[in-house]
């Protein structure tokens, strides 16, 4: 058994077990490791043939079973535990071995680990894995970053296990250091935005359009066959059709409206602020999860204030507009995320290829969508494109859907239905496409009270005015 298995995986939870079985399905031999004996036994049983998939609780047995250079993937919760696992493996490894962190680690942690392990002759990869448990089993989108040379050793395995879009694997080498974790973080930021948008439109159609869950299910299902085709629209449709086991009602109506989060959306927002790149659709999606968590306060506040009753709408026309607005806002969410990636690429030296990133998001991951084929083409056509809104191929798509978005945002504002994702997307568009913004006033105010100086439109140089004289 010594030195024969192609791939090692530490952490046999749901993701780990599914991923390792996927590796074995694709003709590679794989060995798992977990401290929990039950998980080890469950994998051995499910794997069937121990020569193809085996597992142990003993790290020494595990490391000794792997062929060199060892390729060891960690699918353990992000944070301290990653360091603990790395430290426990280190004395058992040889120079040139490869550790791949497949969790949602914060990118600066990945940079720190990569530098530390490089000093010990070990190659370290941060590889975002998207697609949930089903994706891990049947084909996820994988976003690896690290040493380009070392990637050649894991490439055949990752390409085999990843999702395929028209036969093309949804994985590619993304860049050095934490490029993989960074791209996955922004993927999750976009994921937050798209989830917020799909849930707002569901709310609007329910409250203003009066659609039943069944009608909403049909609407989302129809949209999923058109230009909004995406994993999140698809599962929204399925969720709306789900009956509740515990009552006679629909399950969605029984679920508490407090959304949790593990932090990747927040990190995207925080880092976008650090970079100075606006991602307001993502920012508001994070804020909405925070507002949702204030359920008890929301209940009290609801009793203090009146809210208008939604005015009647033409149902069919309203649904058409909702489809247009959702499409518009989806574009804004992707545009913001890609813009952040373009800037981070320069700031952190990732040298990202945005067309390749959009390409590996076309299948397997949570934000997979028909729209990503168009986004891929836009970035392939112009690899200097910083923002999707500057691509001529997107002008018509945006122009054709912005009016409906304006109408719905206005309707939401007048009728007291919060549409923060939609309105932030619209405001982003209006501001980004404005030659002149009122920020001249802010510069004047800054100079007025703090002598912070300003520049002028009509001539170069730095100016200051003694305003109070
Ligand atoms: C994926 C997801 C996944 C993430 C969950 C939960 O791409 O498969 O992004 O990695 O952990 O979506 O994230 P939150 O708990 O923050 O909503």
394 and 378 Cβ atoms separated by less than 8 Å: yes
Task: For 157-197, write each residue's pLDDT tens digit.
Answer: 999 999 999 999 999 999 999 999 999 999 999 999 999 99
Q: Which are the contacts of 466, defined by CB distance < 8 A and separation ≥ 6?
A: none
63 and 84 Cβ atoms separated by less than 8 Å: no
Sign of CA dihedral 197, 203, 206, 212: positive
What is the DSSP secondary structure assignment for residue 279, as one 8-state letter?
-
Residues known to be catalytic: 184, 191
What average pLDDT score do residues 10-21 get? 97
The yes-or-no verdict on residue 2 having pLDDT over 80 is no
Neighbours of 232 (CB within 10 A): 21
Using pLDDT thresholds of 50, 70 and 90, give the confidence band for residue 1: low
* Beta bridge mates, 127: 144
Displacement of CA 420 from its chain's centroid (Å): 19
Of 336, 340, 334, 378, the residue nearest 356 (C-alpha): 378
Q: Which atom of ligand 1 is nearest to the CA of 367?
A: 7
Q: Would you call 298 helix, strand, or coil by DSSP?
A: helix
Task: For 301-330, write each residue's pLDDT tens digit.
Answer: 999 999 999 999 999 999 999 999 999 999
The yes-or-no verdict on residue 69 having pLDDT over 90 is yes
Task: For 279-295, write each residue's pLDDT tens digit.
Answer: 999 999 999 999 999 99
Q: Whose CA is nearest to atom 9 of ligand 1?
A: 188
Task: For 237-296, write each residue's pLDDT tens digit.
Answer: 999 999 999 999 999 999 999 999 999 999 999 999 999 999 999 999 999 999 999 999
CA of 443 to the centre of ligand 1 (A): 40
Q: Which are the contacts of 371, defined by CB distance < 8 A and separation ≥ 6?
A: 227, 228, 230, 327, 330, 331, 334
Task: For 190-237, write each residue's pLDDT tens digit.
Answer: 999 999 999 999 999 999 999 999 999 999 999 999 999 999 999 999
Q: What integer pLDDT is reported at residue 50 of this predicted model?
A: 94
Q: What integer pLDDT is reported at residue 63 of this predicted model?
A: 98
Q: In whole numbers, what is the pLDDT of the chain averaged over residues?
A: 97
What average pLDDT score do residues 411-415 get? 98
Displacement of CA 221 from its chain's centroid (Å): 22
CA of 204 to the centre of ligand 1 (A): 25
Q: Whose CA is nearest to atom 8 of ligand 1?
A: 130
The yes-or-no verdict on residue 441 having pLDDT over 70 is yes
Task: For 382-404, write each residue's pLDDT tens digit.
Answer: 999 999 999 999 999 999 999 99
Is there an atom of ligand 1 within 6 Å of 365 CB? yes
The yes-or-no verdict on residue 469 having pLDDT over 90 is no
Q: What integer pLDDT is reported at residue 278 of this predicted model?
A: 98
The fraction of the chain above a pLDDT of 70, given in percent, is 100
Is there an atom of ligand 1 within 6 Å of 131 CB? yes
User: Hey, which of 79, 184, 262 would you mutate to test ligand 1's pocket, going by the most ligand atoms within 8 Å of its Cβ?
Assistant: 262
Is there an atom of ligand 1 within 6 Å of 130 CB? yes
Main-chain phi, psi angles of 85, to 5 degrees? -65, -45
Task: For 339-387, write each residue's pLDDT tens digit.
Answer: 999 999 999 999 999 999 999 999 999 999 999 999 999 999 999 999 9
Task: For 71-100, write each residue's pLDDT tens digit.
Answer: 999 999 999 999 999 999 999 999 999 999
Q: What integer pLDDT is reported at residue 103 of this predicted model?
A: 97
Q: Is the peptide bond before 69 cis (omega within 30 degrees of 0)?
A: yes
Is there an atom of ligand 1 within 6 Å of 271 CB? no
Strands 30-33 and 141-145: unpaired
């Amino acid at each position: 058994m010594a030195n024969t298995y192609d791939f090692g995986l530490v952490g046999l939870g749901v993701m780990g077990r599914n991923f390792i079985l996927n590796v074995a399905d694709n003709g590679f031999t794989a060995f798992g490791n977990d401290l929990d004996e039950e998980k080890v036994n469950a994998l051995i049983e499910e794997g069937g043939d121990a020569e193809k998939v085996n597992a142990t609780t003993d790290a020494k047995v595990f490391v000794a079973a792997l062929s060199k250079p060892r390729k060891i993937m960690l699918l353990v919760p992000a944070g301290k535990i990653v360091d603990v696992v790395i430290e426990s493996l280190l004395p058992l490894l040889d120079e040139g071995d490869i550790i791949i962190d497949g969790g949602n680690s914060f990118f600066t942690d990945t940079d720190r680990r990569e530098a530390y392990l490089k000093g010990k002759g070990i190659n370290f990869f941060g590889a975002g894995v998207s697609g949930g448990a089903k994706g891990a089993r049947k084909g996820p989108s994988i976003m690896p970053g690290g040493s380009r040379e070392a990637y050649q050793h894991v490439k055949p395995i990752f390409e085999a296990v990843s999702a395929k879009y028209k036969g093309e694997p949804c994985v590619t080498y993304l860049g050095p250091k934490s490029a993989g974790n960074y791209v996955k973080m922004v993927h999750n930021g976009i994921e937050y935005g798209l989830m917020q948008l799909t849930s707002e439109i569901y709310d609007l159609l329910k409250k203003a359009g009066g659609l039943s869950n069944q009608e909403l299910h049909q609407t989302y299902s129809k949209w999923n066959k058109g230009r909004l085709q995406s994993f999140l629209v698809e599962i929204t449709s399925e969720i709306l059709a789900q009956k509740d086991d515990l009552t006679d009602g629909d399950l969605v109506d029984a679920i508490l409206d407090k959304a949790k989060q593990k932090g990747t959306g927040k990190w995207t927002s925080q880092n976008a602020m650090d970079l100075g790149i606006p991602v307001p659709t993502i920012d508001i999606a994070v804020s909405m999860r925070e507002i949702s968590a204030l359920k008890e306060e929301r209940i009290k506040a609801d009793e203090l204030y009146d809210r208008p009753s939604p005015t009647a709408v033409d149902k069919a026309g309203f649904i058409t507009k909702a489809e247009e607005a959702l499409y518009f806002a989806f574009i804004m969410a992707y545009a913001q995320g890609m813009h952040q990636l373009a800037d981070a690429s320069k700031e952190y030296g990732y040298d990202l290829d945005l067309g390749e990133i959009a390409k590996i998001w076309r299948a397997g991951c949570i934000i997979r969508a028909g729209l990503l084929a168009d986004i891929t083409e836009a970035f392939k056509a112009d690899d200097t494109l910083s923002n999707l809104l500057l691509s001529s191929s997107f002008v018509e798509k945006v122009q054709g859907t912005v009016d409906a978005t304006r109408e719905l945002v206005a309707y939401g504002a007048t009728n007291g239905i919060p549409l923060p994702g939609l309105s932030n997307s619209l405001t982003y568009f209006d501001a980004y496409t404005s030659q002149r913004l009122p920020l001249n006033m802010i510069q004047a105010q800054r100079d007025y009270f703090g002598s912070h100086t300003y520049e002028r439109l009509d001539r170069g140089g730095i100016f200051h005015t003694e305003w109070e004289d």
